[in-house]
Amino acid sequence: MVAPYPLMLLSLAVGLGALQLPVLPRVFQVICAASGMALIVFLALRSVDSLNRPAPPHWVSRALVLTGVILLILIPALITAFQWQTRQLSPLCQREHVTIDGRIDGLVQRLPGPRNIHRLHIRVGQLEPRRCAGPRRIRVYLDTHRLGLREEAQADEGAGDGSPLPIKDLKPGSRIRFEAVLRQPRGMVNPAALDGEKGFLVAGIHAVGSLRSVSAVDPSLDGIFAIKARIDRLRAAVSSSLRNRVSGRVGALLAALAVGDRRFMTAETWSRLRMYGLTHLMVVSGLHISMIAVPGWYFGAALGRIGTALMGRGSATPFLAPSCAMLFAGSYAFLSGMALPAQRALLMLSLLMLPRSLGRNVKATEMLPIAAMALFLLNPVSLLAASFWLTLGAVGLLLWFTSWRGRSSWLRDLWDAQGYMLLAMLPLGLFWFQEAGSIGAVVNLVAVPLTTFLVVPLLLCAVVLAPLWYALADHLLEWAAIVLATLWSALEYWEPMLGPWGVLRVSPGNVQLFLALFGVVILALPRFPGRIFSVGLLLVPLSIPDSRGDDFVELLFFDVGQGTAVLLRQRDKALLYDTGGGPVGGPSVASRTIVPALQSMGIRELDTLIISHDDRDHDAGEGDVARMASPQQLRRAVVSGSTGEACRLGGSQRFSPGVTLRFLSQHLPGDSDNNGSCVILISIHGRKFLLPGDIDSAREREILRYWGQDLTADVLLAGHHGSGSSSSRLWLRSLAPEVLIVTAGHGNRFGHPAQRVLDSAAASDIVLLNTALRGAISFRVFPDGRMKCRTLRHRKAAFWRRGDFQRDCRPP
């Protein structure tokens, strides 16, 4: 018998490694390689036998079992990854107008902000022209104002033909024909930030784009997706009813708990939940689904007793309890939209209940390897997602804890298990997300029982009873809302008192994580000597600072799309020039790029924040950055009121020994916002970096005339993201930089960088690096003046990353 746990971990590790390869191997190559391995093992054993040193016969079976399990992991993972790769939009069809006929998959989401932009997922039935066909599932964005769509259906009878299409007609499962501009799914690449392209792979998105016109919508349902579409429409109706009955944040939270509809939860709501470590409560997962299975079990057991009383002990009633538990849990999972966490929870529960329904008593520990394999088969590329390993780790640690527990009351067991899991998941959460609620363990001890055993049962009873007994359902909903509102008010009250210490922001390395998990394992052992010291190992990620290379100064150009953000840091000192873009009223790009990077670097405070000028692609993330790392000093082109200090021509600032800033320009009366940008020259141990904001060629000439021939730069940021109105030949020739950096969005509608800028850089033999193609770009300058440059996009040569593998900043 092959040990199941090492076999499970080894096979999953092999699958994870295969998905990290720069080029996917063909399935037949994997089969041949695995078969060759098995053959080599078999022949080696035979040769040992021929030397009269008989090997145990079970070695052969172990080798064959190991090979089979590895193949079971590798083949589905590689097939899924290969299908995603082959279904990508052709590069020749990027930014081209295409006509799509498909069906809306899932709920339509309205993005925050005043522009009324909606996000839809489409299962493509037909795509024209045929040479662009390939994508099967796409994500598109719809601007209702630009397309002239109505938010509500018109009430008058004459609003039928020729009137704009109401958004409410865009229902889950509706067939829709539209014209769109598509592009390949591409994400920004920054330190410690989520990998956007990997996210598209795990979600199975083959193209993204924007709708240009909608020609027809048919809400009728047919085909294999009709059942799922009807469930999604029911979810949308229940969500709308709950939010109409209970307004505000509490209504949005109730909708998330009842039907998994998190579309109306604001960024502020998520921020507060993260601060207290409560985000898991708003995801319908194992905690909620297991709770719903409990009344189902008792209901089935009661039916079983009735059946036994009526039909005798020989009746087949023992299966009723686990079957009803699965029915209750499955109904809730489907009502919540069967998101990936709900699928995993339902699958794990099914594997535990199935043997019981067949009259067999199987230990949960024996089912974990099978459950891990089943979780993998749900979505083979989910091996790349942190949620897969968090789910597997949480279940494994819980089983480890319960296996060492003695007999005690169920209430004591529940309390101890919850406390253990909160401590156990702390290092895992810090490792993957670089943050955790500082008092999350204490808050969860109160919030989890309240939500799980009070709010959710009352809420689901209200949903079920609403069509049958509306008055009672309304009272149940009101009670659930009161409990949740009380809890939310308490969280809101304590938030200002916690301040910046409400969230632990640490980025533990592999060694710290291993020591912390070792402490978690020891903590569960009841008779282990010195068990109390394992708590110290749990705190290792918080007590050992991550080395940040104290011997160099780093200048990091973030990949923020069509925007600018540059970080200067050394040890615990940091200066940020601009904060990237973002939609008005919506989440900024900084919240998912700059903020995670600052968290991973342990930067809680900025020495200086410089906003080059007031424009959305430069200052949209100012609020998010300031909340995470408040600046001691704020400088900007134009000061309104008493906020900050204006950039002054000729001003200078000492950042650290050997590192200085000089302001080369300032906003003058009559200047446009772009020409009034703060232009700064950063000198680092003799190396010079020039950041010009969005100035044009006219202001470039003025700066050159003022500062004369002494003005040079080793690295130059292209003005206005590489616009043709900036980075003139005179500017480039006079400054004579080695490297020209362009911070622009991939496939942006402005055509940045302009061909004129590319030609000028090539004519001056300047290396041009574009964050859209290279990801974030880092320059490290050492005290002796050595400078090392690296780009982040292709340092990890995984197959889902687009472009050629490039480890450093040399031109391809």
Q: How many residues are there in the chain?
A: 812
- Read off the tokens for 252: 């949005």
Q: What is the pLDDT of residue 160?
A: 40
- Read off the tokens for 232: 């999604």
Q: What is the pLDDT of residue 157?
A: 36
Q: What is the pLDDT of residue 364?
A: 64
Q: What's 31-81 look like in SS3?
A: HHHHHHHHHHHHHHHHHHHHCCCCCCCHHHHHHHHHHHHHHHHHHHHHHHH
Pairwise CA distance, residues 61 & 302, whole Å: 46
Q: Tell me: the pLDDT tens digits for 241-258?
A: 999 999 888 999 999 999
Q: Is residue 687 predicted with pLDDT exceeding 80?
A: yes
Q: Which residue has the tokens 């904001």?
A: 693
Q: Which of 139-148, 172-181, 543-552, 781-790 has the lowest mean pLDDT?
A: 543-552
Q: Is residue 82 predicted with pLDDT exceeding 60?
A: yes
φ, ψ of residue 234 to 5 degrees: the values are: -65, -45
Q: Which is it for strands 553-557 and 436-437: parallel, antiparallel or unpaired?
A: unpaired
Q: What is the pLDDT of residue 75?
A: 82
DSSP at 150: B
Q: Which of 195-204, 307-316, 343-352 has the highest mean pLDDT?
A: 195-204
Q: What is the pLDDT of residue 644?
A: 81
Q: Which residue has the tokens 């897969």?
A: 388
Model-level pTM? 0.83
Element (H, E) at 305: helix 286-311
Q: Which is it for strands 137-143 and 207-218: parallel, antiparallel or unpaired?
A: parallel
Q: Is residue 640 predicted with pLDDT exceeding 80?
A: no
Where do the domains of the chain lie, and which CATH numbers do they carry? 4-86 (no CATH), 91-147+165-220 (2.40.50.140), 407-437+506-546 (no CATH), 553-791 (3.60.15.10)
DSSP at 746: T
Q: Is the dihedral of CA 734, 737, 738, 740 positive or negative?
A: negative
Q: Is the dihedral of CA 599, 603, 605, 608 positive or negative?
A: negative
Pairwise CA distance, residues 746 & 733, whole Å: 27
Q: Select from 286, 311, 97 the least CA-distant residue to 210.
A: 97
